[in-house]
Amino acid sequence: MDLAAFKPKGKILHKDLVTLDDYSASDIAEILSLALKLKAEAKKGKFRQLLKGKTLAMIFAKSSTRTRVSFEQGIKQLGGSALFLSSNDLQLGRGETIGDTARTLERYGIDGVMIRTFKQSDVEELARAGSFSVINGLTDDFHPCQALADIMTVYEVFGKLKDIKLVFSGDGNNVAHSLMNAGAKMGMNVVCACPKGYGPNPLTVECAKKFGNVSVTENLDEALKGSNVIYTDVFFSMGQQTDKEKYDALMPYQITERHFEIADKNAVFMHCLPAHRGEEVTAEVIDSSYSVVFEQAENRLHAQKAVMALLMQ
């Protein structure tokens, strides 16, 4: 899809962002268009009160710097307010059902819930039970808000998304899953280079292939030929135990300066952060001039503002 020629309508049909599987290319373009507009306005000190008087509850079973600050600051810039709810603040940890939690929150006038948790089924159940909008802030299976910020960053760097080749190296995790979903629908070529036994979920791969150019390989060097974006993530996601067998399998997929000799001469490096220098990426790469990791981090704010504005109005 040509984002530059896209004519936004200012609305999408979905009230929940559970996974980008549910979103069409037009839906994603709608979010990105608004995100780019809100970012441009923010740079000029202009903040539209699109969610004045609205309240976002933020449920965190997993902690996060970027997710908490970007959502909290985002809803504030849109004129609304946020409630931070950790696992210690809720009765979920003591056996209360998600359905009961949802019905309680809606009685308190909550307009939206961002949830960052382990099981994808918890987000799905929350969306079914509540009358408010639900936004997936991360699960073990998907990270849709990160993927939206990522492809927004790619668009800013290259001025297009169609035919951009993004290679994800390492563990085929939740970030890889959502990148495949978003990238395929927006005309990108997404390749996951992963060691045997650590590739993305085959069902997610097949679903993404229905919409665009997605592939999985064990050969990182071959995948990197002609690539515009080299992307990696930590070896062990939050909540996972460090495992020597997995560590040894992933170390050959560490991104180094050598890999940028194989990629396109204008290729950039991406990482969703936090990063472990010396593991999934060398310091020379992540701290280089071609690294756009902090642009990605900033774009979490703008992409999520667009999501909230479109879902919660």
Active site residues: 116, 143, 146, 233, 272, 300
In DSSP notation, 214-232 reads: EEEES-HHHHHTT-SEEEE
Yes or no: say if 262 and 228 are a contact pair by the CB < 8 Å rule: no
Separation of alpha carbons 133 and 110, rounded Å: 9
What SS3 state is found at 247? helix
Yes or no: say if 218 and 195 are a contact pair by the CB < 8 Å rule: yes
Q: How many CB atoms lie within 10 A of CB 142?
A: 26
Burial of 75 (0-12, 13-18, 19+ CB in 10 A): buried
- The amino acid occupying position 260 is F
